[in-house]
Chains A and B, each alone.
Chain A
Amino acid sequence: MMVAEIKLPPVLEIIRGNIVKHGNPLAMKGTEVAAWAKELKLPERGDLLFYTGGEYQLLPFIDSLVSTMTLMDQGSKVFSLMMGARNIINKTGINAEKLYASVLAKDRERFNSISYKAAIILQKLGYDLCYAGKKELYSGALLSELGFSEDMKSYAVKVAEVLKQSGAKTIVCLSPHAAEVFKFVYPKLIKDFPFEIKTFVELVWDKRHMLPAIKSSETVVIHDSCRLARELAIDEELRDILQSMGVPFREARCNRKWTTCCGGPNKLLFPDISHTIAARRVEELEETGADLILTSCPYCLSALQGGQAKDKDKDNKIKIEDLIEFLYRGFEA
């Protein structure tokens, strides 16, 4: 193969630099990422480690980053000045304060509360959780997915260190991306990685007999996340969960292992295409006539919403929620 030296688009460097230097893709502070857990006072050590990876919390900021990028031609001088120079990134990360300011408070709250709601649900199902709090580090899934395998090698060591401090046997991941990378990548990178990796969905499924019945007039359609359905082979579980709560649901034309990707994975580099793909997927899901799309992946949630926002003039928009939000409503009612 012809190998040329290739200079990467700056946004990739930003993500890489932030993860490596700051422990998450957007250089947010650990205290910000862990703010949702303040009142829960979860212990740092225990058998079952609750792992957010900051992924839901960061979502609105990623969207803000993407919209900054969509507005600006990535090749323009301004963009390079703002995002480009690697040393600037290395010194400061991307300016999180600015992104912070541009995110609506209600979005911030909504996404922050998803981790909170997930923890409450698991507690109600009888799970004893521990949590690393502000020390928690992002899994590095993006490093691995984007090809920064060298960075990933050393980063994974740091992450594993934090995970081990919990003394946990099992890690429950909210994001299928984190679950995937812990399950399939970490064991290859870390000599001693003794954890059983579970997703939130699996833990709920195990105790589905304890779920409250949900009396809802809404018809649900499941958007299977690619990672969950194909890599982790979790699809029937979602249906079982709904069934045990007596929730009527429909199936999209492309479901389970044939699910259509939400477009999320190439959002950072190709936001327009990503949005179009998301919009098409929302259309597929809407075709079922359901009122509510449920997904179980932070990136799917954010991407599908982005795809929907695109055709603004539509009224009667289908609702999109994470399974966590839906279950929590059930517990509250």
Chain B
Amino acid sequence: MADLQKEFNSYTKDLNKASKDENIKKAITRAVKSYRETTAETLTRFPHTPAMAEEVREIKTKSIANNSELLKQAMESVERNKGKAFYAKDKQEALEMTAKIIGVGKTIVKGKSMLGEELAIREYLEEKGNEVWETDLGEFILQLNHEKPMHILSPSIHVPREQVAELFTKFFKKEVPPDIAQEVAVVREFLREKYFTADVGISGANVVAADTGAMVIIENEGNVRLSTGAPPVHIVLVGIEKIVPTFQDAMKVAEVTWRYAQYGVPGYVNIISGPSKTGDIEKVTTYGAHGPKEFYVIFVDNGRSDMAKEEEFSEALNCLRCGGCMYECPVFQVTAGHFGHVYMSGIGAVWTAFVAGGLEKAAPLVFTCLRCGRCVERCPMKINVPSMIQKLREQVVDG
């Protein structure tokens, strides 16, 4: 029997410590303010967004209900594009499939992905004897610092430049001053070499179009372009809930995602549907022109289809991972990602329960949630997290 009291005690200590951490306080206060300002501004600039969010909500809900059909179609599309598509029913399968494609002794460059966190893919591949580099700047900082992300979009939200400088000075074995531009520059230089020598690039995807097999990946840094474009092999790990019927649907999902994810207008939107190819010499299609020669997509279930079956929770699969709710969450505002287990805050508690540790890991989160409901006001998908939290409490209580 899991003694929840013990879990609570260590978790509570962690939460309390976080709530007294001045870095977290400063960083989150700044982040919340900037999130609210940017979002208000871009929603005014693009006033069609709420209506489009409404539409996306319908697209997602229908897609989840029709998931097995769409999965089949998406896999066929990927194969038609000369990629290889797989379905992993759980974490272990996903890890093994990925490792099998990669092998050992390889260098891997990786883009940011919550699914990656869920699978602990970096750790797994490293254990298998590979070298894995997080290429998102925030994730890179955390990798060096052996830390977990504190926000789904700004993972190192809590680490100020002084700490980054210290960390980099140690790692690069040369003096890096606490100057953000210089900090960015050293990582750029370091990773540039990795992109072009890596054997494999790994990424997630924000949304997948079943009709075309297109993976849509939103980013600002350009690291995803490089890690999915430069190495000879590209592996996409994506949750099955991300599939929508058409390319046009996918564009709508993407726009709503980035708008609520504070991108305003994102620097880059990558659309990848297959391996790189050319027919320029004698019209003979040859793969691996400039980009990857091999393209793999692993669709990961790991509890998602169970979630889809439960009427009270299936709506949680609509989550776009825009992170908006976290900025509005009073608990998150004082503790950051410490209010989480892989997935964070109220919606995270639901996800943790189904895909990242089960009810036992979710229980402390489930009881931390205030059920205040401000997340629902923010959420473009209007996911009713408080009601799900209440249902999860029932499950904890009734066993």
Instruction: Give me the interface of A with B, judged by CB distance under 8 Å.
Output: 1-10, 12, 73-75, 144-150, 226, 230-231, 257-261, 263-266, 269-270, 272-273, 276-277, 280-281
Question: Cβ of A6 and Cβ of B9 under 8 Å apart?
Answer: no
Question: Cβ of B19 and Cβ of A273 under 8 Å apart?
Answer: yes
Whole-angstrom distance between the alpha carbons of A66 and B348 in the complex? Answer: 27
Smallest Cβ-Cβ distance to A149: which chain B residue: B394
Chain B residues within 8 Å of A7, by CB = 1-5
Question: B353 touches which one: A1, A12, A230, A273 (CB < 8 A)?
Answer: A1
Chain A residues within 8 Å of B394, by CB = 147-149
Smallest Cβ-Cβ distance to B306: which chain A residue: A1
Instruction: Give me the interface of B with A, judged by CB distance under 8 Å.
Output: 1-6, 8-9, 12, 15-16, 19, 303, 306-307, 330-331, 333-335, 353-354, 357-360, 363, 367-374, 376-377, 390-399
Question: Cβ of B334 and Cβ of A4 under 8 Å apart?
Answer: no
Question: Cβ of A260 and Cβ of B397 under 8 Å apart?
Answer: no
Question: Cβ of B12 and Cβ of A270 under 8 Å apart?
Answer: yes
- With contacts A7-B2, A273-B16 taken as known, whether A261 is within 8 angstroms of B399 at the C-beta atoms is no
Known: A1-B307, A7-B4, A259-B374. 18 other contacts (CB 8 A): A2-B358, A6-B360, A8-B4, A9-B4, A146-B393, A147-B392, A147-B398, A148-B394, A149-B394, A261-B370, A263-B330, A265-B372, A269-B8, A270-B15, A273-B19, A273-B331, A277-B331, A281-B330
Chain B residues within 8 Å of A260, by CB = 330, 372, 374
The smallest beta-carbon distance between B24 and chain A, in angstroms, is: 11
Question: Cβ of A148 and Cβ of B397 under 8 Å apart?
Answer: yes
Question: Cβ of B2 and Cβ of A4 under 8 Å apart?
Answer: yes
- With contacts A3-B395, A149-B394 taken as known, whether A261 is within 8 angstroms of B374 at the C-beta atoms is yes
Question: Cβ of B368 and Cβ of A269 under 8 Å apart?
Answer: yes
Question: Cβ of B358 and Cβ of A277 under 8 Å apart?
Answer: no
6 contacts between A and B (CB under 8 A): A8-B5, A147-B393, A226-B373, A261-B370, A266-B367, A273-B331
Question: A73 touches which one: B4, B9, B333, B376 (CB < 8 A)?
Answer: B9
Question: Cβ of A147 and Cβ of B396 under 8 Å apart?
Answer: yes
Question: A226 touches which one: B360, B372, B398 (CB < 8 A)?
Answer: B372
Chain B residues within 8 Å of A264, by CB = 370
Question: B331 touches which one: A5, A230, A266 (CB < 8 A)?
Answer: A266
Question: Cβ of A270 and Cβ of B368 under 8 Å apart?
Answer: yes
Chain B residues within 8 Å of A75, by CB = 5-6, 8-9
Whole-angstrom distance between the alpha carbons of A9 and B2 in the complex? Answer: 11
Query: Majority SS of interface residues in chain B?
Result: helix
Question: Cβ of A277 and Cβ of B373 under 8 Å apart?
Answer: no
Chain B residues within 8 Å of A8, by CB = 4-5, 396-397
Whole-angstrom distance between the alpha carbons of A72 and B359 in the complex? Answer: 27
The smallest beta-carbon distance between A126 and chain B, in angstroms, is: 34
Chain B residues within 8 Å of A269, by CB = 8, 12, 367-368
Question: Cβ of A263 and Cβ of B8 under 8 Å apart?
Answer: no
Question: Cβ of A272 and Cβ of B358 under 8 Å apart?
Answer: no
Question: Cβ of A3 and Cβ of B330 under 8 Å apart?
Answer: no
Chain A residues within 8 Å of B3, by CB = 7
Smallest Cβ-Cβ distance to B12: which chain A residue: A270
Whole-angstrom distance between the alpha carbons of A23 and B127 in the complex? Answer: 56
- With contacts A1-B358, A147-B392, A147-B394 taken as known, whether A6 is within 8 angstroms of B4 at the C-beta atoms is yes
Whole-angstrom distance between the alpha carbons of A146 and B394 in the complex? Answer: 7
Whole-angstrom distance between the alpha carbons of A59 and B230 in the complex? Answer: 63
Whole-angstrom distance between the alpha carbons of A131 and B370 in the complex? Answer: 31
Question: Cβ of A276 and Cβ of B334 under 8 Å apart?
Answer: yes
Question: Cβ of B5 and Cβ of A9 under 8 Å apart?
Answer: yes
Chain A residues within 8 Å of B19, by CB = 272-273, 276
Of all A-B residue pairs in the complex, the 5 with the closest CB atoms, nearest first, are A147-B393, A2-B358, A261-B372, A75-B9, A147-B394
Whole-angstrom distance between the alpha carbons of A260 and B392 in the complex? Answer: 23
Question: Cβ of B399 and Cβ of A6 under 8 Å apart?
Answer: yes
Question: Cβ of B2 and Cβ of A74 under 8 Å apart?
Answer: no
Question: Cβ of A74 and Cβ of B9 under 8 Å apart?
Answer: yes
Most chain A CB neighbours (cut-off 10 Å) among B4, B6, B358, B369: B4
Question: B373 touches which one: A2, A231, A266, A281 (CB < 8 A)?
Answer: A231
Question: Cβ of A257 and Cβ of B9 under 8 Å apart?
Answer: no
Whole-angstrom distance between the alpha carbons of A150 and B9 in the complex? Answer: 27
Question: A273 touches which one: B1, B335, B372, B396 (CB < 8 A)?
Answer: B335
Question: A10 touches which one: B5, B357, B397 (CB < 8 A)?
Answer: B5
Question: Cβ of B399 and Cβ of A258 under 8 Å apart?
Answer: no
Chain B residues within 8 Å of A3, by CB = 358-359, 395, 399
Question: Cβ of B399 and Cβ of A277 under 8 Å apart?
Answer: no
Question: Cβ of B359 and Cβ of A280 under 8 Å apart?
Answer: no
